[in-house]
Structure 1
Amino acid sequence: MVSDKRTLKAICTLKRLLDLLDQAGGPVPPPGLFAALERYKPNRDELAKYQAFSRGGYRRNLIHTGPGYQAWLLCWKRGQFSPIHDHSGSACGVRIIQGVAAETVFRKRRDGRLVRGKTFTHSVGTVIASVDQDVHTMGCMADAAEDLVSLHIYSPALTGMKFYPEELVVKVSPSRSRQSALASIAPVRGVSKRVKRPLAASIRASKARRG
């Protein structure tokens, strides 16, 4: 088991990152997952063999399947976005490798309709943390300076996503839309949700709960 002190250091290779996550022996606790992604220092060369784009839509490239997670490299050409979706029982940690990601979040109402929230832009090095029923869409703006590449780790492994059609998004009046337009755009930000609990501590707690 890796000590807390050692875990706090930078994770400098993809293999080291995956080895740490494998130590959980099952689903990785979200705090540990997000903390590991924050400490990971990507090497573009070691990720290059997984990088592939598609003109028909963003492309998901499988890197590794662990005991309780999967790691994917997602590649987005300019103008490509995911549908509105959640992660259906999985936590998802994302680290931006190249480009700038645009993410719009939604709030689910009791009647099942969606309320559009803020749109965030995430620069290289940002870690985006989401869990289970968080609803969002993500992609690469059409006028971006370069295509987008992002590392996604789902725990447990993602077996399906729930998609939400645009028709479920509550429409706002034009006047209200204009008034809220500036307020709804957030600036480029760094790590979206910072998690202080070390990865090793989270893994030990998870194993203790499983007995």
Structure 2
Amino acid sequence: MLVDRISQVLRPLKQPSIAELRNALVKIDASYRELSPFLESTSNKPYYRKLLYQSDEVELLVMNWSNLDCAPHDHGSSYGWIQVIGGACKNTLYQVEGNELPEEIFHKTYQQGSTFFAPQKAVHKMNGENGLVTLHLYAPPITGMKVYDLERCRMCIVADDCGAWWPEEQRQKLQELRLKNKNTSQK
């Protein structure tokens, strides 16, 4: 059973290295069929997320995506691996300097079965069409995630129960900051 397998693989992890974290995700070997009971549709958010496992050391989430882009975001002090379970995922990386607006530097599409790394403090966004399902394993559990609103030149540190979108509830906005757009700044 998937829940038992997840617990058996993740429970022993203590401050896992990048390689240990990836190996754990691969060892879980979750299939779309096994994850389907945890999926719910969403049309007003980029994805629906379900926490499958959490300890002081790691957290495992499954996400199924609508056709909306998530906001550019980091994972606070966490790092992790993302596995594409179904569909294809476009991952866009950004460069952030100080209090300036993030600038897109690179994007890559990952197909079903692929895994890719999400480094500490790296800013990225993901998107995919309906049918995209991803499995995310982070160490330690994400806290202090920064979400960026590129159109309004702002950044927000969000509560742990907020996803990679601008918070709708005031209680989810832990800190908000206006950003500089160096393309429109005077020289």
Measured against the shorter chain, the TM-score band is 0.7 to 0.9
**Structure with bigger RCO (C-alpha 8 Å, 6+ apart):** 1
Among the aligned pairs, what percent are the same residue? 23
How far has the Cα of 1:170 moved from its partner?
Answer: 5.8
Q: Which residue of 1 aligns with 2:71?
A: 83
User: Quick check: which one's strand share is greater?
Assistant: 2
Correspondence list, 1:144-159, <5 A: 144=129, 146-159=130-143
2:61 equivalent among 72, 94, 97:
72
Query: SS state of the match for residue 164, structure 1?
Result: strand
- For structure 2, which runs of at least 5 residues remain unmatched after alignment? 154-178
Please list the CA deviations of residues 90-141 of structure 1 after superposition, one character each: whole Å capped at 9, or x if unmatched: 112110000001111011224533221112111011111112211100011x
CA distance in 1, matches of 2:40, 2:147: 24
Which amino acid in structure 1 is aligned with residue 11 of structure 2? D
CA distance in 2, matches of 1:16, 1:101: 26
How far has the Cα of 1:14 moved from its partner?
Answer: 5.9
Query: SS state of the match for residue 163, structure 1?
Result: strand
Q: Which residue of 1 aligns with 2:51?
A: 62
Q: Which residue of 1 aligns with 2:158?
A: none
TM-score scaled to structure 2, two decimals? 0.73
Which amino acid in structure 1 is aligned with residue 62 of structure 2? L
User: Quick check: which one's helix share is greater?
Assistant: 1
- For structure 1, which runs of at least 5 residues remain unmatched after alignment? 1-11, 173-211
Q: Which residue of 2 aligns with 1:6?
A: none
Please list the CA deviations of residues 25-68 of structure 1 after superposition, one character each: whole Å capped at 9, or x if unmatched: x4322221123324543222321221112111111111111341
Query: SS state of the match for residue 97, structure 1?
Result: strand
Cα pair 1:91 1:154 within 8 Å, conserved: yes
Query: SS state of the match for residue 27, structure 1?
Result: coil
Q: Which moved more, 1:29-38 or 1:116-125?
A: 29-38
CA distance in 2, matches of 1:151, 1:38: 11
RMSD between aligned alpha carbons?
A: 2.4
Q: Which moved more, 1:28-37 or 1:121-130?
A: 28-37
